[in-house]
Structure 1
Amino acid sequence: MKRSIKWRWLVMLAPLAMLAMSSVEAAVNVRVQPSGDNVTTAYALSGEQRILFGNVEGAAAYECRWQFSDGTPATAWAAPGATRFINTTHTYASAAPHWARLTCRDPGNIADTDSETINMLVIGTDNLNRQKNDAIDDGLRYSYNRILTGGSYQGCFYGSGQYGASTGMALLAFENHGHNLDSNDEDIYKAVVEEGLACILRVYPTAINMTNQACVGDPELGDTDADNDNKGLRFQSTNQYYTPFMMMAIVNAGSLATGQSHVVNYGNAAVNGMSLYDIAVDTKDYLVWSQGDANSCVRNGWRYWEHSAGPDNSANQWPALALAEAATRWGIDSNPVAKTQQDGWLTASQYPGTTGHGGGFCYTYCGGANYARTAAGVIDHQWVGTAIGDSRVQRALDYLERNFFTTASDGNTRNFYAMYGFYKAMKLYGIPDDNFRGIDWTQEYTNWLVNSRQFTSATYKGSYFRGIYNWFNTDFDTYVALAILAPEVASLPPVAQAGPDQSVLPGTVVNFDGSTSVHTDPTKALFVFRWDFDATDGLWWEAGPFPAAGEGAVGVTASNVYADTSSPEDYTVTLQVTDNGGTPANPDPAMTDSDALNVHVETFQVPPVPVTNGPWAAIPGVPVTFDGSASFDPNPGDTITSYEWDLDGDGVFNEVPDDGTPVAPGVVTKTFPAPTSGVATLRVTDNHGASAASDAEFIAVGLAYVTDYVNCWVTRTGRYTYHYGMVITVENIGDAELQNLEMTLTGVPDNRTIVDDTSLLGTLAPAAQAATACDPGAKTADISTVLNRRVPFGGTWEWKAEFDSDGTHYVIPNLPPLAP
């Protein structure tokens, strides 16, 4: 029997089923998207309809259903139309953590049940990161539905009509997002990589007998492989366009250890019994061998066919890119003579000059450059080992900068062929994602790609990407766009909280506290806090690693003293927080966020500061004390001369009797005869006539209060999460009967999430108690919450009480409990 509930954070909402089913009777196994260990938390937009899906694996005729965290009724148990794609749509109205759960079972043995839960953080305000995640969602879901599930090409992907190259590009899309042979077995996308590799290694490899070449010499030199068997591997045909895409998919399929240990046995004699690493080595040998072998042995490269005498920079980039990937990923280097030949070709095919076409790369010999071929030239330079400071590389980058926003067919914008070449050039040379010659190229590309999606019919259950200037077709464009949007899904960011604005006197110490800053991804942490005390002279961290005296500080808290300038001054104080990206605990790139506050520095007096003992909770008929005696004036020698209260929220202070009865300076009392809620505000004035009012704080006067919390049952829902059914005791602490009492849980501590929130308790006599319903056997409860042990405790429980008493209907919101 298998019974489990497994939790994952939502990353792309795009599942893929295991295509190879066991012939042995197996227990039900549910997977959903997202899955795996190498993915990043993503989030959805409130009010947006999402497609949710998973798959089920095993041998029984299953029935499945979906459940949701927002109170929406679960779907009925039903046999899925397709076990590899069990989908539904759902819209979450509120901005909060939510979940959807897919459960499947064997109807003949319901103990054989498995569930997977998709957890997602729903946000209320949209941003580019969410849109990027949504685009990846749709694209991977579309790509999943384009896999061939039968026939001789099973496991390959639809595309340009050439399944090999399309499958290679599709696998790169999945692999670039962390789904590969190293993924956890619960990663639903791992099957895509396995099936895609199985197809290209079953259908396309051909063994090639190689001989030494006149220019390159021995194509097997340059790596650590010792077979020296004069054998190479070609995929699909002698056209140099196809083999590189499949080779890149192979070397990105996992770590070097995986490549060396994963042995192929898919029925193709050319590769049976070889490891993926050995296959990559022999493919490298073939690509070196197939390089042109002419041109006086000083400027050879690749064209569309083996040993073409005249290279061109549209086909030339793909073997070079595959060889660069093999060297970077698995340390498989190439015969250096092949690089020397390529270097000569790059010099010959670059357009002269520094304006117009200058610095760009041409198709063959230069008649005119374009963006895609110039990006290819930069890729090729990186493979041959040209330093980024070399004038040839710099002139090419100049060309790419000048034409970055070009929209013509030979330009960059919305031309996926050109965009992919530029993306790889930036990655290979390590040019920052947010700064190519001052251009935030990743944000520009994300904007373009997000807006290039087109939605299809329900047949594809998703959406695809389409460039204005197409690269083959919808399928291939989609795989390319997804690869560019890698290496990872846009993460939830850190959030800097610099604190409230401040008004101070010159010469006084001003304290800053960034401790309320948070990271919205619970798996990551804040690492560095930087403070800049005055934005008018720039942010110090843009100029160097350390602040000059008086410019700023590093740390969660900081302090500064502002001098008297003989006139009131306003200073913008900036807090920048950086997370722990780039560390073993968080290998994702570091992310930052900034927040600012205003410090107003007076040259004369500043108002006093009102301080109250609110908020307040009480019962009807008992006096409530409103105490403002802790208020203070920050000016030395100044005093507070007036304390004024507004207790009925009408904006008028010290009304008699609405605003209470004075007891002492700053202290008043007021009795509320019936349940109610409202706000109180304190205004203080000093001996100079300067005044300030507190924020309105809540008053809650009720008869029904929660006095006790008891756990009735608990179910572990994840490694750190537990679902608690609770029994809540409610007491009528007044002297009147309550009818139709309804208690609603509206707030919980920070480490909990509300699942079930309302209990109908009926009539409650004075001093009587009632308990909410809970059934430990059925695992149901009126009130239930999920506890996350990774989140620190903080915050309080809050309730809303609604009841009738003495012929009046009362609703008391934000009612704090008497019990802790």
Structure 2
Amino acid sequence: MKTKIIYLFLICLLMISISSWADSFENNALDLIQKYKNLQPAPVHNETGNWNNIMHSNRVDPMVNCMPYYYSWVGREITIWGNVHWGDDETGTYEWDVDGTIYSGTVTDARYIAVSHTFNTGGLKTATLTVTDGLGNIDVDQVSINVIPIVDKQQRINAAIEDGLRWLYLNQYATGYWYTTGEYGVGTTGLAVLAFEENGHHGNNDLDEDIYAETVQLGLDWIVNSNGTTIAIGTQPAGDPDTDGDGIGVYFSGSVYANGIACLAVAAGDQPDKIIETGALAGMTYYEAMEDAMNGIAWNQTDDPSAGRGGWRYNTYYDNYGSSDNSAVQWPVLALHAIEENTNDLPFHDPIIAPSWVADELQLWLEYSVCDNGSFGYTYGNYWPNNAKTVSGMASHYYLETAQTADVIQNALDYLDIHWTDPSYDGSWYAEMFYGNYYALYGLKKAMEFYDITTFGTGPRDWYEDVSDYLLDDPSYGQYVDGNWPNGANWFTFTHGTTAVSVLVLTRGVVTLQPVAVIRSSSLPQPTDTPITFSGQESYHQDIEEFITTWEWDFDA
């Protein structure tokens, strides 16, 4: 009897210990998250490179490039800039002719030959940069600047994007990366490269036509050559991930987050046949690297039925991490979508498609992690939901081809509508979208973009109008004059990351510039039954090359 009592006591003690350990483990994990949530990881620079070695052309004479087409308005001081790749001589002078105003001097920084200028009239302006080297060789380039008479929000957005790209250009290291090396470097560099790519700047563009082409290719080379890694993969419980049968997967970071971002940048690179020249992936093409990256993501999917089967979490080099969370899941899902989307119509290449069982497994995870209130939880349903995880769940459902009309999407939109302006999750340290969480803003943009949602909820709520107002003008998290955005409150706590994300969130693809009606009257107010003169002659088209062809007055008589 005494022995049984001792055994019973030991069993109870063991159960209490396990429960206590589990609670302690969860609390410690949350403590660590809170401890590091606002820390800006100290930059590590293995090899920053030297821009002087890069700013050379393969020509005898210099090669001059101007900034991209720019947007501004009357009375605003702007920066007009260009660069020069030197030929046989590395010294010289510049002259800017800005709509008849001349600025000149000695070139002190080949990457950034900049002047400030204010246009006092509207119209399509031109700025011409001429560089003469020490041997008398000359090259010239020109940029157009769209100056509208009255400040317009779309014009402000266009200018904000260009100013952000310029800041990223100026803050890249010569070896190709942004901010730091390691996990944060891969993620930040992937976001920066993607910001340029989504605005039409690709590494294989003509260097003499696109001032950012070199910037993009340097970033891609650093991601692929310096960070590309292979790993042996094999059949998983759900199926075989190895679609090309070579027995390997590829990843660019041991972090699921950073790796997914890097895949987005490489997949959008528009260079499927480019051969990787150095590093572990040397000899592969971008297309082959992307197929193996997709295979690696499939192999990495969690298959433990007791701990978040069908999702992903933290590290890329396990075939089964053992758990999943919706903060991490969106990045491999976004990568899978980007790889499939960008290889769908390639000439001479088959589309890269993940095995069907990957989507089947993901469906299990989404069903497991959805919450009763329509949101999505962290590691399981009804646990630590917020806007960031909810838009992650929406994006994942889009990959599964879940219809926008489905209850799970409509319920998620209802949750977002209710919690749209929440400062944080239940008053905790975790900031929400409009309080410095740029990470959540990117997830929101992707989910809304996927489902082509303009408005939703009560009002209705125009998500892009709210987000763009915030990124342009918020006193704490709006854009700085230099073009960058402030450090964030969570995850993207450093300006290189927040700037790249903000450009991506503001970028909507092709935006058609519209005519703007301007009504003026110099005879207001007037008594009843007195004629009033109105004029619309100050109306204009945002696109200087278009014209207002018809007009109509509609008075409420």
Give the distance between the partners of 1:89 and 1:343, measured in 2 at CA: 54
Residue in 1 that maps onto 2:325? 312
- Which residues in structure 2 correspond to 1:349-748 (within 5 Å)? 349-352=369-372, 358-365=373-380, 366-408=382-424, 409-414=430-435, 415-432=437-454, 438-451=460-473, 452-453=477-478, 455=480, 462-467=483-488, 469=490, 471-488=492-509, 492-495=513-516, 519-522=541-544, 596-598=553-555
Q: What is aligned with 1:122?
A: 147
State the secondary structure of the residue aligned to 2:446: helix
User: Which residue number corresponds to residue 158 of structure 1?
Assistant: 179
Given candidates 178, 202, 220, the residue that maps to 1:180 is: 202
Q: 1:135 to 1:19 in 2, by over 3 A?
A: farther
- Structure 1 letter corresponding to 2:127: A
1:198 and 2:227 are equivalent in the alignment: no
Percent identity at matched positions?
30
Does the residue aligned with 2:138 lie in a helix, a strand or coil? strand
Q: Report the more deviating stretch, 181-190 or 243-252.
A: 181-190
Kept in 2: contact 1:139–1:465 (CA 8 A): no
Matched, 1:253 2:269: yes
The change in CA–CA distance for 1:148 and 1:412 in structure 2 (over 3 A counts) is same
Instruction: Classify the secondary structure of the residue corresponding to 1:367.
Output: coil
Give the CA deviation at 1:498. Answer: 11
Tell me: CA distance 1:488–1:81, structure 2 relative to 1, closer, same or farther (3 Å).
Answer: farther
Deviations 1:71-118 (A, max 9, x none): 53x23342x111111112112233343332211012322xx2112222
Aligned to 2:133: 106
- Per-residue CA distance 1:426-474 (angstroms, 9 max, x = gap): 1122223x56762221121111111234547xxxx65434445562311
Per-residue CA deviations over 1:32-73 (Å, capped at 9, x if unaligned) read 111xxxxxx64212222111111001322342333344553x
Other structure's SS at 1:369 match? coil
Q: Aligned pair 1:294/2:304, yes or no?
A: yes
* Cα pair 1:372 1:410 within 8 Å, conserved: no
- Out of 55, 80, 91, the position equivalent to 1:52 is 80
Task: Supply the distance in 1 between the matched residues of 2:251 and 2:301 (Cα, whole angstroms).
Answer: 13
8 A Cα contact 1:18 1:188, kept in partner? no
Partner of residue 135, structure 1: 160
Judging changes above 3 Å, is the alpha-carbon distance between structure 1 residues 392 and 465 closer, same or farther for their aligned structure 2 residues?
same
Match of 1:92 in 2: 119
Q: Secondary structure at the match of 1:597?
A: coil
Q: CA deviation at 1:278?
A: 1.0
Structure 1 394/410 Cα, relative in aligned 2: closer, same or farther at 3 Å?
Answer: farther
CA separation of 1:108 and 1:183: change in aligned 2, threshold 3 A: closer
Distance 1:343 1:139 in 2: 37
Aligned pair partner of 1:272 in 282, 286, 300: 282
For 1:123 and 1:105, locate their aligned partners in 2 and report how far apart those are by CA, in whole Å.
33
Q: Distance in 2 between the 1:131 and 1:348 partners?
A: 43
Mapped contact 1:313–1:362 kept (Cα < 8 A): yes
Please give the secondary structure, in 1, of the residue aligned with 2:256: coil
Distance 1:516 1:45 in 2: 14
What is the aligned partner in structure 1 of residue 14 from structure 2?
none
For 1:361, the aligned partner's letter is F
Deviation at residue 181 of structure 1 after TM alignment: 3.5
The one-letter amino acid of 1:33's match is M
Q: Secondary structure at the residue paired with 1:135?
A: helix
Q: Measure, in 2, the Cα distance between the counterparts of 1:367 and 1:84.
A: 50
How far residue 207 of structure 1 moved from its aligned partner, in angstroms, is: 0.9
SS at match of 2:141: strand
- Post-superposition offset of 1:248: 0.4
Which of 213, 218, 228 aligns to 2:236? It is 213
Match of 1:232 in 2: 249
Q: Closer, same or farther in 2 for the Cα pair 1:33/1:491, shift >3 Å?
A: farther
Task: State whether residues 62 and 107 of structure 1, in contact with CA within 8 Å, keep that contact through their aligned partners in structure 2.
Answer: yes
Say whether 1:76 aligns with 2:104: yes
Q: What residue is the counterpart of 1:43 in the other structure?
A: 71
Work out whether residues 413 and 448 of structure 1, in 8 Å CA contact, stay in contact via their aligned partners in 2.
yes
Change (3 A) 1:159 1:490: farther
* SS of alignment partner, residue 101 of structure 1: strand
CA distance in structure 1 between the aligned counterparts of 2:489 and 2:195, rounded to whole angstroms: 20
Q: How many residues were matched structurally?
A: 469
3-state SS of paired residue (2:162): helix
Following the alignment from structure 1 to structure 2, what is the Cα–Cα distance between the partners of residues 389 and 455?
39
Q: Residues 525, 406 of structure 1: CA spacing in aligned structure 2 closer, same or farther, 3 A cutoff?
A: farther
**CA gap 1:50/1:489 in 2 versus in 1, 3 angstroms:** farther
Per-residue deviation, 1:282: 0.4
The answer to whether structure 1 residue 263 and structure 2 residue 263 are counterparts is: no
Code of the aligned partner of 1:320: V
Structure 2 CA distance for partners of 1:136 and 1:18, relative to 1, 3 Å: farther
What letter matches 1:279 in structure 2?
A
Distance 1:484 1:168 in 2: 15
Counterpart CA distance in 2 for 1:70 and 1:493 is: 25
Q: CA deviation at 1:189?
A: 0.9
**TM-score (norm: length of structure 2):** 0.77
**Does the 8 A contact of 2:471 with 2:479 survive in 1?**
no
Gaps of 5+ in 2: 1-50, 345-351, 425-429, 522-535
- 1:303 pairs with 309, 313, 328, which one? 313
For residue 248 of structure 1, give the secondary structure of its aligned residue in structure 2: helix
Aligned to 1:328: 341
Please tell me whether Structure 1 or Structure 2 has the larger radius of gyration of its CA atoms: 1
Amino acid at match of 2:503: L
Query: Within 5 A, what are the aligned runs for 1:744-783?
Result: none
Q: Which has the higher helix share?
A: 2
Residue 487 of structure 1 and its aligned partner are, at CA, apart by 3.1
TM-score of the aligned structures, taking structure 1 as reference length: 0.53
Partners in 2 of 1:29 and 1:407 — Cα distance?
50
| Cα pair distance change 1:436/1:52, threshold 3 Å | farther
Q: Distance in 1 between matches of 2:190 and 2:308?
A: 32
User: Contact (CA 8 Å) 1:303, 1:316: kept in 2 or not?
Assistant: yes
Cα distance in 2 for residues equivalent to 1:381 and 1:276: 27
Aligned: 1:285 with 2:295: yes
Contact 2:57 2:63 in 1 (8 A): no
Counterpart Cα distance in 2 of 1:271 and 1:308: 25
Counterpart in the other structure of 1:28? 62
Q: Render the CA deviation track for 1:523-565: whole Å, top value 9, x for unaligned.
A: 5688xxxxxxxxxxxxxxxxxxxxxxxxxxxxx87xxxxxxxx
User: Using the alignment, how far apart are the partners of 2:56 and 2:127 within structure 1?
Assistant: 28
Root mean square deviation, CA, Å: 3.0
Contact 2:146-2:544 at 8 Å conserved across structures:
no
State which of 243, 258, 268 in structure 2 corresponds to 1:242. Answer: 258
